[in-house]
Structure 1
Amino acid sequence: MAKKKTDKGVDCDRRAFITGKGWLPAFVGAIGLAGLGSIVGLKPRVLPDPSAQFKIGPPQDFPVGTVKVFDEEKVTIFHDHDGMYAISLVCTHLGCIVSYNDADARFDCPCHGSKFTLQGKVLKAPAPRALDWFEISALPSGQLMVDRGVTVPMGTKVVV
């Protein structure tokens, strides 16, 4: 069988390629591309979360009985007779955003069906634990601020 010359001047027939002379460069090239892909893949492709702290307004904006959803911050603020509290809208199962269900007075996860009380307790699995509660504090200006970076025990309320 006659050997054919490639464009680059390297002799390589099918038999030589199959027996190994051609596999080595192909294998080394594939490993190199895989390595490059893993390095490029290390860069996160998500937008950063907004600041963990955000102002929600003065206490007068939250009369008793108020339920206010802050979609961008993924937090709901409640003001009942015992005080104010902030609950995360991020499901503890896989991180989906729960929605406030006013008709049934609960939170529902649209992804896998978890349900939570208005205090964040799990009513229906697969969520493994309750929704997080966040710290609410008063600023010197009189504004209220929620800090999503500080979780507090369930039942922690701020009296305003």
Structure 2
Amino acid sequence: MSNHLKFDIYNLDLTNIQNDSHLRFFLLGMSSRAVILVEDIDCSFKLKNWDLPEDQTQTQGDHSGKVTLSGLLNFVDGFYSCCGEGRIMIFTTNYKERLDPALLRPGRMDMHICLSYCNASVFDQLAFNYLGLHHHHLFDEIKQLIEVIEVTPAELGGS
């Protein structure tokens, strides 16, 4: 995607960001045409403040030296995020339900794409993309196995 658009790509590891100010500094320092990838956002830090009562949320800046939910939300769609020609942010997670609903709302995360396990049609596409094959005598057997076991496209492609 970044090659096609001629955008720079940044892999942002939130565990290496010291606080909200550092996150903002990172955003301002990147190029204006960028793809920002945040992998496993559910594991990066606590996006819900489970220690506070339910009526208190982490909406005010945290001065304890940690990135806060508020800081991340401002990074995604705050004042500083609009600087530049265009930025695409990609977040990955294995547990969408662990993310705060404020992070998932439209305008922050406009597209939610589930990359699930393979089925027969995904297998057909992978076989064509990787091997240039439309048919093979083992395809029917493989497709029957795919219906029984859960295998990801990455696992299948690496086999």
Q: TM-score, structure 1 length as denominator?
A: 0.22
Radius of gyration: which is bigger? 1
- Name whichever structure is richer in strand by fraction: 1
State TM-score, norm by structure 2.
0.22
Higher helix fraction: Structure 1 or Structure 2? 2
